[in-house]
Structure 1
């Protein structure tokens, strides 16, 4: 879920830093995917499994759409309102093909089998569950309403209850709006984006020790990573950020930051070409040698179908 965030990085230059590109063929994949042609969908989260199945959530209705990276059109997979899922934000897929859906202000985590069967519904009281990250034995979710990181244990087919793993009081500064989350270092460390209050300098990237249950601020250099969706590939961290466009509006882009080995410093080295408010991208995912982002239209003056996913311009 996007929060507009003022920042001083609107004029960030594209730097000529050598960054490895994944050696994967894009093949005959469309540049644009149509999630839905129905009004009010407002797509938000995205996930791609190992077989190329593409999932996109709707924060407007709670529906989840499914397709394949080689096909332009997605189809309804989980209908709006089913299982109490009237909102759907962040998504993730595990190695068993189970789909984990953050239910935003429903306060619920939904876990579905590949055929759509509801396997588990777990609730965090008062939560606005925004984004999801999986480890071998747990699922972690950010809560934008209360500044909490929630955790549920995964034990084979069993999904445990949601537990407050870190609360706002466990951060050096109370988070303003927790959003994207990724996990690294064998499931020990999470990087969590905080979009702050919307004022310059309040956005942060947190390094969360999931074992010690502590949080410290990552030193972010040459840009900001107070992002909506995050994507981590080795020491490369991608984040969908927003900033004033210099003309009284807002622009959106993907920033690429290089992390140090201990995940305590992040240097922004590249930025995609921007999108405008009518597009309002939320999060990013890797498909072969390209990046895809979700055009939510959440901040568009008049959101209108078709709702789409497109390739991130100018960055791989």
Structure 2
């Protein structure tokens, strides 16, 4: 087990599966005490997996739509580990429908879980993050963009995810005086998770990457000096290429998939795409 996060407590929403689980295990292997908060967290196997690598773990059953659940989860974390140094806002739900087709109950689910849930977790974690000597908030969402293509389909979902990005950027300004960093992270490709399987889009599911690429990128971000790394909209592959990673085949969910075949995520900004293409060109990778 590494030592970069020794003595740190990482609180992850939606931490029992997919990207959240991968981040939890990455942090645990690098010395952190890890709290996973989710509707079924108390009985989740990830808690045993974290403990198996020698790290302290806590699974907290928490409905991210309920303020009282989130507040109680934060309080339980502090009772158990004394503080919170890193908050990863990963919990999300997606309903890929347009305005006419979506039910208000589905809209409310995304608004309450994606946007309000993330904000509530921040609100109750902040008093502890502000006391940490290197505190980070990381929100799993894309860069907000005023581009019609992102709204033409699935507009309610896009609204909820872009709102998370606006929150994260705003927090980087609001919390600068306290040394609390706030960044976002989004994948360049689709990620092989249960959520991807549930979205019903065969194109997105054909050649995804493993959640470990997001975990490795997240770990790099939260390991940085919080006073110097804040207010960024990160893309996983860009983070890792700039960090010196060269082997990206390790992240392929389908062995042997060429980089040109990978299923692209649908919310990558044009300037992010341009930057990645330049990094691949410098690395001698054909895109």
TM-score (norm 2): 0.32
Question: What is the TM-score when the length of structure 1 is the normalising length?
Answer: 0.30
Higher helix share: 2
Structure with bigger strand share is 1
